[in-house]
């Protein structure tokens, strides 16, 4: 549970080490003043909470299996993002406190401010294999988390005839550190269960049961009454468990997972071991072979961005006066030397390219004992022969800036390792395809009226529109209008709109 200082808008875990230190008076709570970065995370949390509320409303309104499965998937993703953002916010607060304590400590030694650059990490072409045996039809998707970033793949329907479970999504994480841990979780849900009765609000269920006749209605009412183990029950002998009111409908379960890091990055497809959490007795069970194949690529910023640029003089040839003015750009594994800055901006070929890699040696040497100017010597191995290029900056301070940029580049390369050997290609994620609604599944709603098939567009758009509406004020519309009662683009089927409209008007 979190406590919030209303003045500083600080989020501190109750009972944590930070709260204990504040109580002891080791440091003031003012150190928890909210920074712009904290505010951004808080906005993300608020957004996901609104999306979660909308997902619960839409999930309660779904009668078609595919709609309910998509809504449940998005609800699980929202919950995961909220937890990830809360953890990220707590880590940021702890880092702020530790940094302030270290600065005030009298015995604290010199702090190394050098940190590796961040980069992009992309995973694509994921697929896993299973045995083609007798099993239930299941809905499967992957949830991927790297730090505070969480993404989900499209949902895939799996039956006994399907042996390869493929996820075509390309997912890119933009703020990865070289010490990243990418957790891949595979979720599954049996799609052959009927979720309509379990997700029906009690008042709507009463309305439906009364319309079925006295005998059938009494049986339905008994089945829908809370049992002894129900979260809304205070007693009773029924054994039927109702879903949590805030999240009715189908439930996804963790089937398998794995964790990938920088050592798994490779510019080709590779198979990684999965840890299986389910068993054959579970309704969501799938007989997986135990591995997932994918392409995990990375692009560190030191490989894609200019890490340093400026005017230099380079010595060409062995003549003492053979110096040429160039505009140097440090990017990736090269130092590009152009005649002028405009050539670089116009993508003109550089006049000289000097390799900067893990085997390169760089040192700063005095040009003249009586001069303050310094030379920079860069030595590489080319075909078993050492080649040294000599550069000169305009001042000692400028030379120091270049040397610091070289050391930072070497440090980034040592942390990202094989990711800096060559620039890996990362394709931009393709736009999500709208989920396709299958024909009616024979639920209770469909038995009461004819199902009108409608397109089901992006779930985020549906929830955003759904939760923005006040369902208590929904008025029935003329059948001839053809417009949706709940969503402008007919995201839910006609029988849901009619039933919910009648339900809310009677409240």
* pLDDT (0 to 100) of residue 264: 97
Going from the C-alpha of 31 to that of each of 6, 11, 103, the distances in angstroms are 14, 11, 13
Helix (H, G, I), strand (E, B) or coil at 137: coil
Backbone angles phi, psi at 16, to 5 degrees: -80, 170
Q: Looking up tokens 């040397």, which residue turns up?
A: 403
Q: Tell me the pLDDT tens digit for each residue of 358-373.
A: 999 999 887 655 556 6
* pLDDT (0 to 100) of residue 8: 43
Instruction: Provide the residue ranges of all domains of the chain, joining segments of one domain with +.
Output: 305-420
Bridge partners (DSSP) listed for residue 253: 188
- Burial of 14 from C-beta contacts in 10 A (0-12 / 13-18 / 19+): exposed
Non-local (6+) Cβ contacts of 329 within 8 A are 306, 308, 309, 335, 336, 338, 344
214-224 vs 202-211: helix crossing angle, rounded to 10: 160
pLDDT by 10-residue block (mean), the chain, 507 residues: 46 59 53 66 91 89 88 92 91 80 53 83 93 79 94 92 90 95 95 54 48 52 42 35 52 95 95 90 88 96 95 80 90 95 93 94 74 82 89 90 95 96 86 51 38 43 50 40 38 49 49
Question: What is the CATH code of the structural domain delimited by 305-420?
Answer: 2.30.29.30
């Amino acid at each position: 549970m979190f406590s919030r200082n209303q003045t500083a808008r600080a989020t501190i875990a109750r009972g944590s080490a930070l709260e204990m230190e504040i109580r002891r008076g080791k440091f003031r709570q003012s150190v928890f003043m909210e920074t712009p970065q904290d505010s951004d995370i808080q906005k993300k949390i608020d957004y996901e909470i609104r999306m979660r509320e909308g997902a619960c409303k839409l999930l309660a309104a779904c009668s078609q299996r595919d709609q309910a499965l998509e809504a449940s998937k998005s609800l699980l993703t929202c919950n995961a993002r909220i937890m990830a953002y809360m953890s990220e916010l707590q880590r940021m607060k702890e880092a702020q406190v530790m940094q302030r304590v270290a600065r005030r400590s009298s015995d604290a030694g010199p702090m190394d401010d050098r940190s590796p650059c961040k980069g992009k990490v992309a995973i694509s072409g994921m697929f896993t294999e299973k045995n083609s045996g007798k099993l239930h039809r299941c809905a499967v998707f992957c949830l991927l988390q790297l730090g505070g970033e969480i993404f989900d793949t499209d949902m895939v329907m799996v039956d006994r005839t399907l042996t390869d479970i493929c996820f075509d999504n390309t997912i890119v994480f933009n703020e990865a550190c070289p010490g990243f841990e990418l957790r891949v979780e595979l979720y599954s849900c049996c799609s052959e269960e009927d979720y309509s009765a379990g997700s029906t609000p009690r008042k709507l269920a009463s309305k439906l049961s009364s319309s079925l006749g006295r005998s059938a209605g009494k049986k339905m009412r008994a089945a829908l009454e809370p049992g002894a183990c129900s979260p809304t029950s205070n007693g009773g002998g029924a054994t039927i468990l109702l879903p949590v009111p805030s999240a009715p409908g189908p439930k996804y379960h963790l089937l398998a997972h794995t964790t990938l890091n920088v050592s798994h990055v490779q510019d080709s497809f590779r198979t990684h071991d999965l840890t299986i959490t389910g068993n054959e007795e579970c309704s969501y069970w799938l007989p997986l072979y135990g591995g997932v194949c994918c392409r995990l690529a990375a692009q560190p910023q030191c490989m894609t961005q200019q890490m340093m640029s400026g005017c230099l003089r380079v010595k060409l040839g062995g003549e003492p006066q053979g110096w040429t003015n160039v505009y140097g750009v440090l990017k990736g594994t090269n130092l590009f030397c152009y005649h002028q800055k405009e050539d670089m901006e116009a993508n003109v070929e550089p006049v000289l390219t000097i390799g900067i890699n893990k085997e390169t040696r760089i040192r700063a040497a005095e040009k003249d004992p009586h001069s303050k100017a310094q030379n920079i010597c860069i030595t590489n191995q080319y075909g078993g022969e050492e080649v040294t290029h000599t550069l000169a900056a305009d001042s000692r301070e400028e030379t120091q800036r270049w040397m610091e940029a070289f050391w930072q580049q070497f440090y980034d390369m040592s942390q990202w390792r094989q990711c800096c050997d060559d620039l890996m290609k990362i394709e931009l994620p393709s736009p999500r395809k709208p989920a396709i609604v299958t024909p009616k599944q024979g639920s209770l709603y469909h038995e009461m009226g004819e199902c009108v098939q409608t397109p089901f567009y992006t779930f985020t758009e549906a929830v955003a529109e759904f939760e923005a509406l006040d369902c208590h004020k929904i008025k029935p519309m003329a059948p001839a209008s053809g417009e949706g009662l709940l969503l402008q683009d007919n995201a839910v089927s006609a029988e849901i709109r009619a039933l919910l409209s009648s339900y809310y008007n009677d409240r």
